[in-house]
Structure 1
Amino acid sequence: MRGFFTQLAAVFALAIAACPVPALADDQGGQWSIAIHGGAGTIARENMSAEAEAEYRAGLQVALDAGAKVLSEGGTAMDAVEAVILILEDDPKFNAGRGAVYTWEGGHELDASIMDGRDRDAGAVAGVTNVRNPILLARKVMTDSPHVMLSGEGAETFAAEQGLDLVPGEFFDTESRREALERMKADKLSAIDVDIKFGTVGAVALDTHGNLAAGTSTGGMTGKRWNRIGDAPVIGAGTYADNRSCAVSATGWGEYFIRVGVAHEICTRLRHRFDMDVVVARVTTPVDRDGNPEYFVHASEMMLEESAVQEEADAVMAEVKELGGDGGIILVTPEGHALYSFNTSGMYRGRATSEGVNEVAIYGDE
C-alpha cells in the first residue's frame, strides 16, 4: 500500500508539471466554439408574448452569428467576444449599454470586463456613465493602460483619451427600464422582484489558434445605490479566461458570485480535475513483468469529457444557490465544449461550434 501511494505521489508530481491543455486547434482542423448569454432569472413562457420571445431569440442569434463569423474566418477569441457584446450592448432588450437599468437616482452606471486566456491579461471598468460601449473601454484598459480596472470619472477620462464614443446619459434611457424603477419605488420592491431576470450580457470563445477569451457587460441591478458594483467587472467572479482550463462569463446576483468567485472557481476546478484524471490514468496503466508501464500517458493526449465539465460547473452554481444566490454561467473549454449552467428557470443564451452546432434558447427545458 505504501508503494502505491509513493507511486501516486510521483505520478501526481509529473502530472502537475505537464501542460494540462491538449494541443487542440492545429491538430483538429481549426476547431472553434462560442457561447453567449443575455441574462438569467425567472423567465417563463406564460409571462412572455410570442412577439417578445421572437425578438429575444432574433437578438441572440444576430449576436451569436457575429461571434461565430469571426471565429470561422480564423479571427481571435478576443475579437469574437467583443463582436458579440458590442451587438448586445446596443440592443435595448438587454441590460447592458443602451438597455441598462436605472440607478436609484435615475441614471445609469455601466460595468464591463474582458480577459484573454493566453496570458490572463484582463481589463475592466466600473460605474461609467457616458461610454457607449463599455466592453471597448474594458479592452482598452487591458491593452493601453498598466491597470486591470478603472472606475467612474477616471475611466471616463481614459475613454476620452482613447477616442472612444462618448454619449449623454440619456442615450441609455428606455421606457421599460424607467417603468421598472418607478414600480420598484412605488411598491417598495427589491431589484430582483422588479427585474425578474438578472440583466447582464456576455460571451466566451475558443478560437482556431487554441486560445480562449471571456467578456461580460452589464447595467447592474435596478435601483442600485451608493455606486454599487456587482460581479460583472470583477475578474474571477463574473469573468475569467485561462487557456489551461476554460473561459467563463456569469450573470446573476452579483454579491453571491463575488463571494464564491464563480468564474475562477470553475476554471480552477476544471484544471484540477484534469490533473487528477492524468494521475489516475498513469497510476492505472498496465505494467510489464518488471513493473514498468507498458505505455506512458501524455497529458497532451487527454481531454476532459463534456459530462465532467458540466458536473464541475453545476457544482459551483449549486454552491451559489446554497448561499442564497441565483443566476447562471456560460463556458467554453480547450476541448471545444460550449456549455451553460444556471439555477434559475431560464437564461437567454446561445452557442455555436465548428462542428455545426448553432442554437439559441431561453427556457430551462430547452
Structure 2
Amino acid sequence: MRAVDIKGGTGNANALFIDENAPVPTPGDGELLVRVKAFGLNRMDVMQREGKYMLPPQAPKTLGVEFSGVVESLGEGAPDFKIGDEVFGLAYGGAYAEYIAVSGKMCIHKPKELSWEQAAGVPETWITATQALWSVGGFKPGDRVLIHAGASGVGIAAIQLAKAHGAAAVYTTASSQEKIDFCVKELGATAGFNYKTQDFGEEILKATDGKGVDLIIDPVGQSHLQKDVNCAAKDGRIVLLAMMSGAVVKELNLAQILFKRLRIEGSTLRSRDLEYQQALRDKVVAEVLTGMESGSFKVFVEKVFSWKDIVDAHKLMESNETRGKIICIVD
C-alpha cells in the first residue's frame, strides 16, 4: 500500500513523502482493517515528524491518529461492524495511509450527514474536548469556562460542548480579531480576547465582576499559565493539554494557587489505554453524534488537500492561520 513516510525518520515538512511499498497492516483480535478515505491533521503530527513527540509503545511509525473510511476486513472478535461499513475513528497512529488496522472499540459508524472530510476531523478533537471538559475538568452546568486557542479543532469542539451543556459563560482567546469573531459569532462564545494585544487575565476578571472562571482549558502552557491563575475563580480547575508556548514556567505565584484552592492538572489522550479511550468514545457517541446529525454541532474544515500535497498541508498547520481542521483525502 501507499503511506506517508519521513525521509531520514524525522525532519521538516519537506521531508514528508508517499512510500509506494509500505506493508498493509493485519488486523488483530478485535480490530478492523479500514480503507482510509480521509485523515485529519493534528499538532502532534508535526511534533512527531520533528522527533519531539514520545510515541506510546503500541503506535506504528506512520503519522496520523484520526480517519474516516470503509471496513475492508475484520480481525477475530471485532464487535459491532461488518465489511463495507462506513466508519470514522481514533487510532494510536497509522492514519496517513491507504489502510489502517484499528480497534473496533475506537471506531464509530459514520452518519450520512457527515462527509468523509468532516468525519475524519471529529475523533481527536471532539474526544479530547470531552476529556478536558468532563473527565479532567469536572465541568458542570453553571460553570464559567475559558477555552484557549478557540479557533483550533479542540477549541471549536469545547466551545460548542460547554455552551450546549449549560455553561454560564464561555470565554476564549485567539491570535487575531478574525478568529475571535469566528468564535463569538459562529460558535456562540460569550466573548473573546486577543492574547497578543490584551491581558486576557485582566479582561476575564473585568467580564466576570472579579469572580473569574471555574474551568480553563489550556493547550498553550508557559505564556498563559500565570494569567490562567490570575483569572481562575476559587476552587477553579486548569486543564493543561499541551505546551505550544513552551514547557518551563520561570515564575508562578503559588500563593494564588494555594488561597484560591486551584487544581492544575495535565492530561494526554494518545498514551491512555484502550479502555479509557473507549469510555470517551462512548460519551462522544452519546452526547455528540445526534447533534452532528441534526446540525446543532458543527465540524469546521479549514481546507481539504489531496494527501499527495501532504507537505503543503503540514506547512499550513505550522502557519497557525487556520480556523478548524485540515483534512487530507487519500486519492
TM-score, normalised via structure 2 length? 0.26
The structure richer in strand per residue is 2
Give the number of the structure with larger relative contact order, counting CA–CA contacts within 8 Å between residues 6 or more apart. 1
The structure with more radius of gyration: 1
The structure richer in helix per residue is 1
